[in-house]
Structure 1
Amino acid sequence: MRPMKLLPNLILLLALTLVEARAQSLKVIVKNPLGFERNDVTAITRDQLGFWLKKHDKKNFRIKMEGTEAYLPIQWTDYDGDGKYDAVLFQANVPANATVNYFIVSDSLKNKSQSQRVAYGKFSPERGEGLAWENDRVAFCLYGSGGKKSAKDASAFPGGVNPWFKKVAYAVIDSWFAKSKKQPGYYRQDHGEGYDGYLLGAGMGAGGSGLWVKDSLHLPGGFSSYRILENGPLRVKLEVKYARWSRFWVEETKIISLDMGSNFSKFEVYFTANTKAPGYSLGISLHDNKGKTRLEKEVGWARYWEAVGDSWLGEALIMEPRYIDDILTHVDAQPDRSHLLLVTKPRDQITYYTGFTWLKSGQVRHVEDWDVLIQQQILKLNNPLEVSVLSN
């Protein structure tokens, strides 16, 4: 009969444990003010977590959606590069004009969930010094200068942004790099996951940068150095630097980031010059000039829709309208020099977004769908998910 006497004590202990756990949890309320569903990476700041973190080990931080038991992937992030975390990221799924609750708990026993769907970046010296990054929707690649430190030498290497087409949500960069070593050109063919079917050449590709000087386009070469600042699972963040280039001796640093669930990479560009440089230009290669352009200067975006192989590719640039001087198409007889250009007002720092979609990814059915995704991206930038934290 002794076990029966212990039962009430066990029940009481369990109840007290649950009460204590609830008392130590934080309720996170995420509000979507827009009229469409969102699945965005969002942040809880260090200030919002201050009291909780004083009592708990950061490594035991877990977050889950109300009504579920699985912990979500998280990522601690450092915004200013001082070596201290500023926030924790998680991916919130919130219906249109709705609010969803999440709960933060401390759990040293149950791990947060792992997934092959990650934001990820990798440098491959064998792949033309390619620095590639991806998420569950898209992949991009920039190329280095082959170790060349001078602008003249670096100019022989492509400086544009190369989109890689994906059909799958899981990460492919490692696999494509590895298989291309054994089978040269592997990534140039679609084996069911997608492929690198884009003709970059010496152009700006899908969102490269340059200078627009008296109706003439001046472009940098490949990057001279790189760093991977953050590497998933929810956000990949990179830094690339370029040797001085053009007669203005432009020194350029780009901070690039890509979140899970997004078609758009964010580019934060910092540059200096020995004399005042004219407007910085961002561009999309027009290739054979047979695609469809749409220029929306007043609201800050431009896109190109073109045939690639047996499918279609949509590309876009987004920037705050107040920093845009002009949006135009520049047709050049020289190969790879025809571009859709977004020209900025002279500044030493700019932020823009470049993104794309591939018809075979299943993300869109036609160009009108791509236009909707672009406009939704602008709405999301202007109306981030609203996050508030309450203690229970």
Structure 2
Amino acid sequence: MAFSQAKGIIEIQNNSDLERKEAVVAIKWETILSHYSQIDTANFVVINTTTKKQIPYQLEHKGLPGIQNLLVQVNVKAKATVRLSIQKGKPNPIEVKTYARFVPERKDDFAWENDKIAFRTYGKAIENTNEDAYGFDVWVKRTNKMVVNERYKLGNYHKDNGNGMDYYHVGHTLGAGNMAPYIKDTIRYSANYHQWKVLDNGPLRTTFQLGYDEWNAGGVKVKAVKTISLDAGSQLNRVENVYTFEDNKPMPVVVGIIKRPEQGVVSLNEQNGILGYWEPTFKEDGTTGVGAILTTPVKNMLVNKEQLLAVIEVKNNEAIVYYTGASWDKAGKITNSGQWFEYLDRFSQELKNPMLVNVK
């Protein structure tokens, strides 16, 4: 018997034709409590009822005192259902697969990673120096272990010490999928983030918030808060941006990916909102794939001298969500442009066909 009251079976149903591997699924905590009112948050396990094995989980808070969701990581075949139950017991140690932190020792960087890829963005201390950059940076990796702390400690992360490196160049662009206002056909970059807050920090999902002080975006005064989540097993971040500005009418913004001078492979899928880029190979360092998926209608996609851009509109003080991220051929999973664009297309299809959760 799981607890003193009737058991609840958690059903995770995949109605799509896509097999879901390593998917992180959120189950509302209030739903869990309605079936397991006596649950001891420090002493329970989640069991796959078929295999009888423990499933890794995380209690998600979203920066709030109370638990908001139970996150589980599951594999669900196409057109199939996985059933889980909750029982008293000591959970197996759960491998840390996501992590983020503020890095004051490196000019206020903010860095984050999962078991596939790593990223960073730039803070206040680096502003007005020749190292400053506006966009998201990619740190490629070929290990499922966390590398951010080790790389900062070593200091020479531009060299591959066996698990990957930072050879991505951002400069004065949006880098790997950052967003900025696009007023009068010009990108209006903010300063770097000046506030940060970690809302959840693994082991299956890491979420943090970055705050941007008001800036003049081509005559429009704008503030921004960006909430970024990275799940275990995913090449892409979920980015939720809230722009605050005085206008009642929507404001155009762009999501951008830096383009290299050498020949790469570009994929612009305006209809499905997918921006894909397979970079030119960078000598012995390998090849990076970068991509973004928009969840709101795209007005236009274009390629200029410096960047691939997707133009969309945001409303004042309303959240807009998109996904952006990267892959590396030397990690051995996605090794050419076809596989990368297929990954982005599949990810887009998964967003449109979320798995259904039911607790009985």
Match status 1:259 vs 2:231: yes
Matches within 5 A, 1:1-392: 25-38=7-20, 39-79=22-62, 81-107=63-89, 110-115=90-95, 117-146=96-125, 157-180=132-155, 186-246=156-216, 247-275=219-247, 278-288=251-261, 290-310=263-283, 311-322=286-297, 324-331=298-305, 338-348=306-316, 349-390=319-360
C-alpha displacement at 1:287, in angstroms?
2.6
Structure 1 267/245 Cα, relative in aligned 2: closer, same or farther at 3 Å? Answer: same
Structure 1 residue 214: Cα displacement: 2.6
> Are the equivalent residues in 2 in contact too, given 1:156–1:221 (CA < 8 A)?
no
In the alignment, the residues of structure 1 paired with residue 314 and residue 13 of structure 2 have an alpha-carbon distance, to the nearest angstrom, of 37
Q: CA deviation at 1:82?
A: 4.3
Which amino acid in structure 2 is aligned with residue 146 of structure 1?
Answer: A
Matched residue type, 1:240: L
Residue 36 to residue 234, structure 1, CA distance change in 2 (3 Å):
same
Q: Deviations over 1:78-123 (max 9, x none)?
A: 35x543222110101112222222221122xx233321x4111011
Q: Displacement, 1:125? A: 1.4
1:374 aligned counterpart, secondary structure: helix
How many percent identity over aligned positions? 28
Q: Provide the TM-score with structure 1 as the length reference.
A: 0.84
State the Cα distance separating 1:317 from its structure 2 match. 1.1
The one-letter amino acid paired with 1:342 is A
C-alpha contact (below 8 Å) 1:299/1:321 kept by paired residues: no
- Whether the 8 Å CA contact 2:135–2:175 is kept in 1: the answer is yes
Please give the alpha-carbon distance, in whole angstroms, between the structure 1 residues aligned to 2:239 and 2:349: 18
Structure 1 residues 214 and 155: CA distance shift in structure 2, 3 A: farther
Aligned CA distance change for structure 1 residues 154 and 344 (closer, same or farther; 3 Å):
farther
CA distance in 2, matches of 1:277, 1:225: 25
Structure with greater Cα Rg: 1
Native 8 Å contact 2:138 2:326 kept in 1:
yes
Q: CA deviation at 1:300?
A: 1.2
Contact 2:107 2:126 in 1 (8 A): no
Amino acid at match of 2:76: V
> 2:215, 2:2 → 1: CA distance?
61
Task: Measure, in 1, the Cα distance between the counterparts of 2:250 and 2:26.
Answer: 36
Structure (1/2) with the larger strand percentage: 2
What's the counterpart of residue 16 of structure 1? none
Contact 2:134/2:170 (CA < 8 Å) preserved in 1? no
Tell me how far apart the structure 2 counterparts of residues 46 and 308 of structure 1 sit (CA, whole Å): 46
Q: Aligned partners of 1:30, 1:346: CA distance in 2, in Å?
A: 33
- Pick which of 55-64 and 253-262 moved more: 55-64
Q: Say whether the 8 Å CA contact 2:47–2:84 is kept in structure 1.
A: yes
1:369 deviates by: 0.8
Inter-partner Cα distance in structure 1 for 2:2 and 2:201: 35
1:314-335 Cα deviation digits (max 9, x unpaired): 111111242x22111122xxxx
Q: Which runs of 5+ in 2 are unaligned?
A: none
Question: Normalising by the residue count of structure 2, what TM-score does the alignment of the two structures yield?
Answer: 0.91
C-alpha separation in 2, matches of 1:50 and 1:346: 37
Deviations 1:100-158 (A, max 9, x none): 22221122xx233321x41110111122321111111111111102187xxxx699832
SS in 2 for 1:47: helix
Tell me the CA shift for residue 273 of structure 1.
2.2
Distance 1:161 1:60, change over 3 A: same
Say which structure is richer in helix.
1
Distance in 2 (CA, whole Å) between partners of 1:147 and 1:312 is 27
Give the deviation of 1:58 after TM superposition.
2.3
Partner of residue 6, structure 1: none
Q: Give the AA of the match of 2:84.
A: Y
For 2:176 and 2:187, the matched residues in 1 are separated by 16
Q: CA deviation at 1:346?
A: 4.1
Question: Structure 1: which 5+ runs fail to align?
Answer: 1-18, 181-185, 332-337
